[in-house]
Structure 1
């Protein structure tokens, strides 16, 4: 989908203190072979009773306040809040988006929880763009998008939940607006592609009657193996997910009238080095230095927030300037992939 008059006004990130991966290997928390393959240096990890002991929604609020502060007039025009996450938000049967909205923009703004796993941030970006483009002509609005997760033990083991990934704690935020006033970037295009037949990769072979029946800590690798045994081999599923992602990337680039050679930076899901290298080499054909790898290896996989955090990092560090184009490629079990092309317009004034 090509977008006209949809802009990024501000981004924000809140991250916990880092835990060193090599130290986790030394204590037995992290597998040495996985560490060698993933090449993760550290991970954002909130510590109980520490200075960063926040719930996930509280992390989202802190990130949102930063994004809103950077958004200028758009901060006063927020007409909806979309909050995305993977894991427990601090209470069961509770709309965490309402908490984020209440503490970031007020009690009268509609707020919705979006659940599409690791692709939810970018999928929410596309939904927000649709909302902005449906407004009456001349009526400027904004949407606040947030993500947050805290992958706390003992129910979740960030080091061993999934091969090829280490999960990090943090909140991210992005303000999307219909007004170019004080905008930092322009959203050129998005494209979402899915294959719902792959949902079992994250579920396994059956169903549970409730959370109490779920093995703890969560073992996503075991669920995938269960699915492969019951339905199809690993190679077929891997090829299909790659096809869905490739189709999403092609469509977004085409709708943005942007060949891959025109892309200056790429932001991907924060996986380990082996996974990321495969996507860079075989799917995108670009060098590692144009990706968000150096940031990924310091903070880990932030659930649905990798893309907002990666774009925020590029802006805060000045690694992109006016006229640069950034390709963001999502991907979440289900399986869905959303790709987005963003053109930086005015990064001035961006600071950590």
Structure 2
């Protein structure tokens, strides 16, 4: 879908300190061979007393400040996550909206695994495009992957989970970029890949075993190749649609931000799947942060803007994907070069 009059007015990221991959290998938490394949430097790890909704409030507050907008103009907040938010059966989105924007803002929680951030962007864009000239909407993401239920370094080979929160402010009024297009696609039958053996009556306290679920899918279906081919087809179709609606192609894209993974998966996502050189991706940032669940794309965009790597006229392709399977892509065009101080913690000393 092509968008008219939808702008990106501000971004915000909250990241805790880093834990090095080397220290995780030395402590026995990270398999040495997997670490070599992933080629990660570090991931971000939050203290246990830092709840994801509070992280999101920090990121949202930054995005609001940078946007220069009035919280009274925000007509919607969509909060996304893929893991526990600190309290069961509780509206985390309302907490984030209430503490960052005010009690008046309608708040919605969205769970679509790692594609939730970009899915929420597409939903929020529709909300404000039909609103008044001052309309604005915010999307937030936040997760803290607490052990032992999440084995940060081994729950899903090729992905190491990082803690953090992101926020993105959409507005009808001009910002530093404009949203040119979005596109989405899905193959809902692929939810079986990570469902496992079946449903259970109540949650368990067993560690998350995504690898075991995938192995069950392979045993019961006989092949993982077909699922990979279907994912590939969906992503390529969605990317092609988003680019066409934006009136450009991959040659016209300055930078690409995809889900943050280890090097072997990143090579496949960027070079094999999209046909884009790794140098155009956000790999150097991703390998220092880890996989932020639904927040990789907003964090990557925020880093590109903060570091001054984008210029007016540059187009950025954001690519999302989440088990289920769903994919959402967005194409942005830079219309300004904001000079924001880095607030994402990328220069913090790495801890062991």
Corresponding residue for 2:113? 117
C-alpha distance in structure 2 between counterparts of 1:295 and 1:58, whole Å: 23
SS in 2 for 1:192: strand
Corresponding residue for 1:332? 322
Q: 2:101 aligns with which of 96, 105, 113?
A: 105
Contact 1:74 1:142 in 2 (8 A): no
Q: Show CA shifts across 1:63-85 (max 9, x none).
A: 00000000012544111110000
Contact 1:205 1:230 in 2 (8 A): no
How far 1:107 moved relative to its partner? 1.0
Corresponding residue for 1:158? 152
Q: Which range moves more in the overlay, 26-35 or 70-79?
A: 70-79
Matched, 1:141 2:135: yes
Contact 1:74 1:177 in 2 (8 A): no
SS in 2 for 1:73: coil
Matched, 1:199 2:195: no
SS in 1 for 2:170: strand
TM-score normalised by L of structure 1: 0.95
Matched, 1:29 2:29: yes
Q: Which segments of 5 or more consecutive residues in structure 1 lack a partner in the other structure?
A: none
C-alpha distance in structure 1 between counterparts of 2:228 and 2:275, whole Å: 18
C-alpha distance in structure 2 between counterparts of 1:154 and 1:111, whole Å: 31
Corresponding residue for 2:166? 172
TM-score normalised by L of structure 2: 0.95
- Seen in structure 2, the aligned counterparts of structure 1 residues 10 and 233 have a Cα distance that, compared at 3 Å, is same
C-alpha distance in structure 2 between counterparts of 1:324 and 1:75, whole Å: 29
How far 1:13 moved relative to its partner? 0.2
SS in 2 for 1:189: strand
C-alpha distance in structure 2 between counterparts of 1:206 and 1:253, whole Å: 38
Deviating above 6 A after TM superposition, structure 1's stretches of 4 or more consecutive aligned residues are none
Q: 2:69 aligns with which of 60, 69, 73?
A: 73
Corresponding residue for 1:211? 203
SS in 1 for 2:115: helix
Contact 2:40 2:288 in 1 (8 A): yes
Q: CA RMSD in A?
A: 1.1
SS in 2 for 1:211: coil
Contact 1:74 1:179 in 2 (8 A): no
Q: Show CA shifts across 1:180-237 (max 9, x none).
A: 2xx010000000000000011121131111112x6x2101111111122223511111
